[in-house]
Amino acid sequence: MDMADVNASVDQHVEGFLGSSFHSPQRLLRGMARANCLLSGSRALDFFVPGSATPSSDWDFYTYGSPYCVGLAIEALSGAGVEWCDAFQPIREIATAPMRSVFYMELEHAYAFVDRALTPRNVDPIVADILVQLRDVLWTKPYQRAVLLNNGSTIHLVGRAGGGAPYGTGAVNLITGHTTHNGSSEKVQLIFRYNTSPVQHILAFYASSVQCFISPFAAVHLYFSLAKQRTAIYWPHNSQHEPSAVASVKKYEARQWTFSTPANALSSAIEHHCLANSPYSTYLPLALNSGLPADLHNLRVEATKNISWQVSEGETRLIRAEPRSQRATLARYSNNREATGGRSQAAVDTFNLAMKHSVAFKHTGCYSHADELVGI
Among residues of the chain, what percentage have pLDDT more than 70?
93
The alpha-carbon radius of gyration of the chain (Å, integer) is 21
Q: Is the pLDDT of residue 243 over 90?
A: no
Predicted pLDDT of residue 39: 98
Q: Is the pLDDT of residue 300 over 90?
A: yes
For residue 324, give the 3-state DSSP assignment.
Answer: helix
Higher pLDDT, 132 or 2: 132
Predicted pLDDT of residue 117: 78
Lowest mean pLDDT among 49-53, 165-169, 242-246, 276-280: 165-169
Predicted pLDDT of residue 161: 53
The 10 Å CB-count burial string (b at 16+, else e) for 137-170 is bbeeeeeeeebebebebebbbbeeebebbbbbbb
Predicted pLDDT of residue 267: 93
Mean pLDDT of 72-88: 96
Mean pLDDT of 233-261: 89
Lowest mean pLDDT among 38-47, 240-249, 336-345: 240-249
Predicted pLDDT of residue 280: 95
Mean pLDDT of 279-289: 95
How far apart, in whole angstroms, are the C-alpha atoms of residue 107 and residue 157? 5
Predicted pLDDT of residue 306: 94
The 8-class DSSP code of residue 39 comes to E
Q: Is the pLDDT of residue 314 over 60?
A: yes
Mean pLDDT of 11-31: 96
Predicted pLDDT of residue 165: 52
**Which band of pLDDT confidence, cut at 50, 70 and 90, is reported for residue 320?**
confident
Q: Which residues pair with 173 in a beta bridge?
A: 192
Q: For the chain, give the mean pLDDT.
A: 91
Higher pLDDT, 124 or 148: 148
Length of the chain: 376
Mean pLDDT of 124-138: 92
Q: Is the pLDDT of residue 103 over 50?
A: yes
Q: Is the pLDDT of residue 31 over 90?
A: yes
**Which band of pLDDT confidence, cut at 50, 70 and 90, is reported for residue 4?**
very low
Ramachandran region of residue 84, left (φ > 0), alpha (ψ -120 to 50) or beta? Answer: beta
| H helix or E strand, kind and range, residue 10 | helix 10-19
Q: Is the pLDDT of residue 7 over 60?
A: no
Lowest mean pLDDT among 168-182, 198-212, 221-235, 265-279: 168-182
Please write the tens of the pLDDT for every residue from 154-205. 999 987 654 455 544 445 889 999 999 999 999 999 999 988 999 999 999 9
Domain residue extents for the chain: 6-82+179-372, 89-158
Strand residue runs (E) in 72-221: 83-84, 102-106, 146-148, 154-158, 173-178, 187-192, 212-214, 218-221
